[in-house]
Structure 1
Amino acid sequence: MNHIVISCIGPDKTGIVDTLSKIINEHQGNWQVSSLHHLSDFFAGVIEVAVDETNTQSLITALSHIEGLKCQIELATKHTDKASTNLALELTANDRAGIVQEIASVINHQGGNLIKLVSSRSSAAHTGQLMFNAKVQIAVNETDVDKLIGALEHIADDLMVDITR
């Protein structure tokens, strides 16, 4: 069984997910994990599909020819990771340019691997101040968890880090 990772972007219109799922199903693919979004009138999505080796190339070809949708498709290779723990965090801070870079840099320099980042902006309840909110999943060695949390908390006085694992 092969696993392919599909990254798609194109102007959003009704039926994109239906089209993708039909093509995957027609090639006996199994939709595994996905993240699909509407961003500034564009559809943007990432999908992992398990597909039999005999159907892999025909599925890749069909996905590559969806009108109005640019798809980049990669065949995943197996790899072994060193022992690590998954750490789920919720981060909240005053919104500002560069905050994602600061967070990503700290995670990288503390030996973590940023597995997932879902961010949003919202208004603070009493002040209306724009707030940055993120849920992150990080793979990190168990022995480095406290050091990583401490480094994240030192990015700025207003950054709150909640562990949700």
Structure 2
Amino acid sequence: MKVSVVMTVLAADRTGIVKRLSETVADHAGNWLESRMARLAGQFAGILRVECEEEGIEELVEALEALASEGISVQVQRESHQEAPKRAMLTLDVVGNDRPGIVKALSAAIASAGANVEDLHTALESAPMSGHPLFHAKGIVSLPDGLSPGALVDSIESLGEDLAVSVE
């Protein structure tokens, strides 16, 4: 039977990190299913999901954790086999003036409405005319039965008049 593991990877950014990870996965008959990776403040940061046969999972995990000797920190978690309830998905785009605590406020508004963050990307961008920093969040949220997209937008817009919220 095949099992999946989800892992986080951190290392000082340099050439060859993804190559080394993919070699380790392939050398242990793993199948790289999906990943997200970025360079943040000089650090390589990644999350990925790998699948392999159950009898080879312990060797794969040990090999990934052994990459610490090369300066690559890998934390591995076996994937849960619980089926998530089917929920409506919504693409969310939020832009507003940057301020400390904006991600805390945004995530609290989403959670208090009953929605769940499935994927989130945040960045600071320069405002077109003034150049002051704008917060930009784009992501996917899942909605519970009975929650309308409008109710979620209202919850987020209650955080301040400077937030522009759009949904798809």
TM-score normalised per structure 2: 0.93
Distance 2:28 2:124 in 1: 39
The aligned amino acid for 1:26 is: D
Distance 1:82 1:4 in 2: 21
Paired residues for 1:101-120 under 5 Å = 101-120=104-123
Structure 2 segments unaligned to the other structure (5+ residues) = none
Mean Cα displacement is larger for which, 144-153 or 154-163? Answer: 144-153
Structure 1 segments unaligned to the other structure (5+ residues) = none
Aligned to 2:3: 2
TM-score normalised per structure 1: 0.95
What's the CA shift string for 1:55-96, capped at 9, x where partnerless? 111110100011201111000121122331111111100111
The aligned amino acid for 2:88 is: T
2:81 is the alignment partner of 1:78: yes
Distance 2:85 2:61 in 1: 31
Percent identity for Structure 1 against Structure 2: 29
Once the two structures are TM-superposed, the CA of residue 108 in structure 1 deviates from its matched residue by 0.9
Runs of 4+ in 1 over 3 A off after TM superposition: none
2:57 is the alignment partner of 1:53: no
RMSD: 1.1
The aligned amino acid for 2:16 is: G
Once the two structures are TM-superposed, the CA of residue 142 in structure 1 deviates from its matched residue by 4.4
Distance 1:108 1:47 in 2: 25
139, 153, 158: which is aligned to 2:157?
153
Alignment coverage as a number of residue pairs: 164
Aligned to 1:34: 35
